[in-house]
Amino acid sequence: MFDRVEAFYRPGTVREALRLLQNGKNRARVVAGGTDLVVEADRSIRFLIDITHAGLSYIRRRGKACVIGATTTMATLENSPAIRALAGGILARAAATCGSVQIRNMATLGGNLANGSPAADTATPLLALDAEVVLADARGRRKIPLTAFYSGLRKTAPGKALLIEVVIPALPRGGRWSFQKLGRTESDISLVNAAAGLQLDSKGRAKWARIALGAVAPTPIRAVNAEKLLVGRKVDESTLAEVCDQVAREVQPITDVRASAEYRREMCRVLVRRALEECAAGTGCSL
């Protein structure tokens, strides 16, 4: 499938990777774990630039933020005590659902986002966590919200830029979090996935709420109108029903080989309800 590849590079720095990417013009592609790129089998690729030795595999604290290098693998995220402790472990849980052990040992966080799939499992928790991404190109580095990174179906901001790291800012205090995934099998990609964050006040009203969904629109999305509907309301059966109805209106699922649009829309209701119930259960609220 890469029979037209003329050269394979393994730069030791980001600067070198960017130079190679620029020199290769449209015929050069970055490769990390290769689990999406190999399947894609793009025969226009002449130069492969393996960035797994460019110093981008790390999980660090930077002030109150948690910073994750782009080539950090799903297996590392899944097993990291820091990521398991962050926001109820929703990112670790999402990483643990990405394919088989063999896939997770190779697949990287940066590749999962840069591939631009609406079903990318790590995108949903990262959207709920208000994550940002740091991009680098010949002009320098810039940080943008993950919401701005996605510009359409399989379209992301990088272009000739490298995704360097993901920044998860300080979390709002007192929140509870949940990640839910529905797949055809244990190791299959999501038919629908959802992440939620919620904090209740002493009267059981939502102080803030975050709801994100994957595989139900051209990009992973935040259900912002459903979030707005929830804030300030007592989280009970009737509020949850209204919020889930709003979620179903906000998504734009398609029918494909895995599921129909109708089924996906219905599963959005189910997964968001489960996610919010899990968040609320952690606060002692009985639904």
Ligand X SMILES: Cc1cc2nc3c(=O)[nH]c(=O)nc-3n(C[C@H](O)[C@H](O)[C@H](O)COP(=O)(O)OP(=O)(O)OC[C@H]3O[C@@H](n4cnc5c(N)ncnc54)[C@H](O)[C@@H]3O)c2cc1C
120 binds ligand X (CB under 6 A): yes
User: What is the smallest separation between the CB atom of 96 and ligand X, expressed in angstroms?
Assistant: 10
163 touching ligand X, by CB under 6 A: yes
Per-residue mark of binding to ligand X, 52-81 (x: CB under 6 A): ------------------x-----------
Pick 51 or 272: Cβ nearer ligand X:
51
107 part of the interface to ligand X, by CB under 6 A:
yes
Q: Which of 18, 31, 129, 240 binds ligand X (CB under 6 A)?
A: 31
Residue 199 sits in the site that holds ligand X (CB under 6 A): no
Q: Are 193 and 181 in contact (CB under 8 A)?
A: yes
Residue nearest to ligand X as judged by C-beta position: 111
Chain position carrying tokens 């179903």: 248
Tell me which of 18, 20, 24, 29 binds ligand X, using CB under 6 A: 29
Contacts of 192 (CB under 8 A, 6+ apart): 181, 182, 213, 214, 215, 216, 253, 264, 267, 268, 271
* H-type alpha helices, the chain: 14-23, 37-40, 74-79, 81-85, 90-96, 101-106, 109-114, 123-128, 146-149, 224-230, 237-250, 261-281
**Is residue 62 exposed (0-12), middle (13-18) or buried (19+ Cβ within 10 Å)?**
exposed
Q: Which is nearer to ligand X, 121 or 250 (CB)?
A: 121
Binding mask 128-157 for ligand X (x = CB under 6 A): ------------------------------
Q: HSE of 22 in the Cβ direction (CA atoms, 13 Å)?
A: 11
| 202's tokens | 């002493």
Does residue 99 belong to the site contacting ligand X (CB under 6 A)?
Answer: yes
Distance between CA 136 and CA 165 in Å, rounded?
10
Please count the residues of this chain forming the interface with ligand X, following the rule CB under 6 A: 30
Catalog residues that contact ligand X under the rule CB under 6 A.
Answer: 29-37, 39, 51, 70, 97-99, 103, 106-108, 110-112, 114-115, 120-121, 158, 162-163, 189
